[in-house]
Structure 1
Amino acid sequence: MTRRLARGLATLMAGGMVVVLAGCGTSPPPSPPEPSVSVPSIPAPLNGAKFIADPCSAITVEQLQSIGFGEGRHEQTREGQCLIVLGPSVDVTTSWFPPVRESIRTLYSDRALGRDTGNHWEEVTINGYPAVIVETKENIPSKRDQGPLACRLALGVDQNTLVHIKANTWSKPEAGPWQADPCGAVKKIAEFVIDNLRS
C-alpha cells in the first residue's frame, strides 16, 4: 500500500468518525408545547354514555313539536347520529363523530391549534353548560337579513362527550317560529338535551 493511499484512507476514516459522532450527538427538535387553553367548566356531568349508546336519547319528536316544529319522525342514520325529519328539507340532528369522542376541551384545543372546528365560533352557556355555535349556513345574499338556513351547536355534557345539535330550517314553515332562527332553535333544543341526559 502506498503512503499516499494509506494517508487517504486514514483521512476518510477520521472523517467518517466525525460524521458518526456528530450523528450520535444530534436529537430531533422538541415538539411544540400544547397551547394553554382556558376551557369553561361543566357544572355537573350528564349521562354522556347514554347519549353515545343512543343519540336519539337526547331529543324527542314531541319536544320539538312543543316548541313549534311541525310533525316529524325518526329516520335510520349512520352510527353516532340521530335524525328527526320534519319536512322535505327541515330536520334536526343530534350526533357525535365515531370513532373519535370529542369533548369541550378538545374542541377548544383544536381551535387554539388552528384546526378546523367549523365556519363560526360563538361561545354560549345553556343552563350553566358550556356550548359553542360552530357552524352556520348563511342565506343567499339577497335574503341575508332573513337569517341563516342552518346552525350547529356543540354542547359539553361531561368531560368526555360533546353533543352536536344541528337544525336545518331553510326558512320553511315546518320549522315553525324557528324558520329564520336555526341558532335560536339549537339553543332551545340544547335545554331539552341537558334535561334528557340528567339520568
Structure 2
Amino acid sequence: MTANRLHRLVAAGLCAGLVLTGCATVAGAPTTATTSGSASQHGAPPLAQPELDTSRFVPDPCRLLTEPQLAQLGITVAGKPEESPLGKACRWIATDTPARINFSLNINTQLGGLDQLYGRKDIFPVWQPLEVSGYPAVIADDDDQKSGECQVNVAVSNTVLVPVGLHLKSGADKPPDFADPCPRGVKILEQVITTLKGGS
C-alpha cells in the first residue's frame, strides 16, 4: 500500500470521525488497565480484555516493535518515523529484504474507538471482524485482499485503535502470501499487543 493511498484511506475512513465528534478527544490520553463492558452503539464487539495504556508510545510509535519481535517477523530494517493524518506513525520499508513487506503503525486516539469505526463500516468495501490476541479487531480496507495490501485495526481500549497498513512486494518477486496479506498484519499486531502488555 503506497503511503499516499494509505493516507487517503485513513483520512476518509477514520478522520471522518473527527467531524462528527468535534475533535474532542485528547491524543495520547492514558487508558486504565481495567476490563470494560461499555455498551456498543454501532455494533462493535465489547472489549473483553484489560485496556492497554498506549500513551508512552504515542510520541514514538517505532517503539511498538522491539528488535527481537522484528526478527521474529523477518524484518531486518529499522522503522522510520513519519507523519500521518492521525499524527505520528512509523514505517518499516522491507520490500527489498526476504520479508518483502512495507508496513506502518500508528496509535489512533482521535476516532473514539472501535465502535466509532463500526459506525463508518459502510465506506469500506472490505470489512472483516476478527480478534488479535483476544482483542477485537477488524480488517477495513478499500480494496480486495488479493492486491497484496491490507489494513487491520485492533482495539486496545474502548477509545484507542492501533492500525497497521501493509503492502507486500508485487511483481515477479512477490511473496507466496501476496494474495492473502492480512495474516501478516495480524502477526504484527500480536507483537504490538505483547509490547503494550509490557512483554518483549
* TM-score calculated relative to the size of structure 1: 0.64
Please, what is the CA RMSD of the aligned residues?
A: 2.9
Q: CA deviation at 1:110?
A: 2.7
Report which of the two structures shows the higher radius of gyration computed on alpha carbons.
1
Asked whether the equivalents of residues 93 and 103 of structure 2 are also in contact (C-alpha less than 8 Å), the reply is yes
Seen in structure 2, the aligned counterparts of structure 1 residues 108 and 174 have a Cα distance that, compared at 3 Å, is same
Give 1 or 2: higher helix fraction: 1
Q: Equivalent residues in 2 for 1:81-100 (5 A)?
A: 81-87=89-95, 90-96=101-107, 100=110
Cross-structure match for 2:113: 103
When residues 51 and 155 of structure 1 are mapped into structure 2, their CA distance, relative to the original with a 3 A threshold, is farther
Query: For the Cα contact (< 8 Å) 1:136–1:150, is it kept in 2?
Result: no
Structure 2 match to 1:76:
81
Pick the aligned partner of 2:138 from 129, 132, 151: 132
Determine the C-alpha separation between the residues in 2 that align with 1:152 and 1:170: 15
Matched, 1:39 2:44: yes
Residue number in structure 1 paired with 2:189: 190
Unpaired runs of at least 5, structure 2: 1-39
CA–CA distance in 2 between the matches of 1:173 and 1:90? 14
Distance 1:187 1:51 in 2: 19
1:65-116 Cα deviation digits (max 9, x unpaired): 31334x2222231132111111358311112457x344112111233xx5x3
Identity of aligned residues (%): 24
Moved more, 120-129 or 76-85: 76-85
- What is the CA–CA distance in structure 2 between the aligned matches of 1:158 and 1:175, rounded to whole Å? 35
Unaligned runs of 5+ in 1: 1-34, 140-146
Task: Name the counterpart of 2:25.
Answer: none
